[in-house]
Amino acid sequence: MRHTSRIITFLTLFTLLPSAAHASSYTYVVNAGDTLSKIAREHQTTVDEIMQHNQLDSDRLSIGQTLALTGTSLPIVDLTTANPYQVNENPELLEESKKSKKARVVADVLHVRNTPSLEGEIVGKLYYGSRVELIEPGAEWTKIRYEQEESYVASEFLKGMERRSNDSKDDDLSVKKLDELEEIVQPLLKVPYVLGGTTTNGFDCSGFTSYVFAQMGVTLPRTSDEQFLGGEVVDLEDAKPGDLLFYDALNKGRVSHVAIYLGDDMIVHANGDDVRYGKMEYMNKLYPFYGVKRYLDFE
């Protein structure tokens, strides 16, 4: 993204998986700096829906104004502040783990512990969308591999990853590309957004994609619109991990944002705040989608 005055703020509230969300009607109090478009983005709704629901005849807001919203209200999960006496079960994970030994985190922050207990020492934390290797899935606690050590996380905040039944050469290559991508991306999570940034001190959206692809031996053009002009055109339904997705996040009538597709409806991008995982489904609802380009070799 190229203009600081129009940087798109994409909070974790909209990147949580639907299975972790709770659809509801609720109220929101307008704060300094809020706009209808900002509120709509943060609550998975649209400006038109907010205006119609609240019978607004203009987009002007006042600090302290109360708006009725309908959308997805998503809690931030941090097990230091969650109920210290209970861990909810996730029996679905046991079934999902039979198909794949990988899962993704569906909490904003998930603490990693050295024992399967809320009293266990916190040895690290995982962010929403992070992919984890399952060693021993359980209904309440799951043993995972974390920084080459065996550790534990609460099972209720994991979702098993889908695995295609087809073991074709193409699928094997996609899995290898995803493994390579995840190894590069996960240490970059939470690196701040910096306009024009191309290093681990800060990235903009195309600086992030350029950096990641450089680690894979591929040189990309510098900006998102230039990246869109290159590469191989791919239909969205044929997208594979490592393909680039392009959006008009600034509503300028041209490409202004790029994200890396990871499969299973997941993306990773520098979104205006920092590097984070997200849902392709939500991006496609929020911004005009321009297409998919492939720079990686799957042959």
Report d(CA 143, CA 270) in Å as an integer: 30
**β-bridge pairing 266-270 and 257-263:** antiparallel
Known active-site residue 269: yes
The CA–CA distances, whole Å, from 95 to 30, 99, 135, 158 equal 43, 8, 14, 12
**Which pair of structure tokens corresponds to residue 74?**
């998503």
The CA–CA distances, whole Å, from 65 to 30, 45, 156, 220, 265 equal 5, 18, 36, 46, 36
Q: Which of 3, 22, 111, 269 is catalytic?
A: 269
Report d(CA 197, CA 160) in Å as an integer: 34
Q: Are 174 and 160 in contact (CB under 8 A)?
A: no
Helix (H) or strand (E) holding 47: helix 47-53
User: End-to-end alpha-carbon separation of the chain, Å?
Assistant: 32
Q: Which of 91, 158, 149 is nearest to 120 (CA)?
A: 149
Known active-site residue 257: yes
Catalytic residues: 205, 257, 269
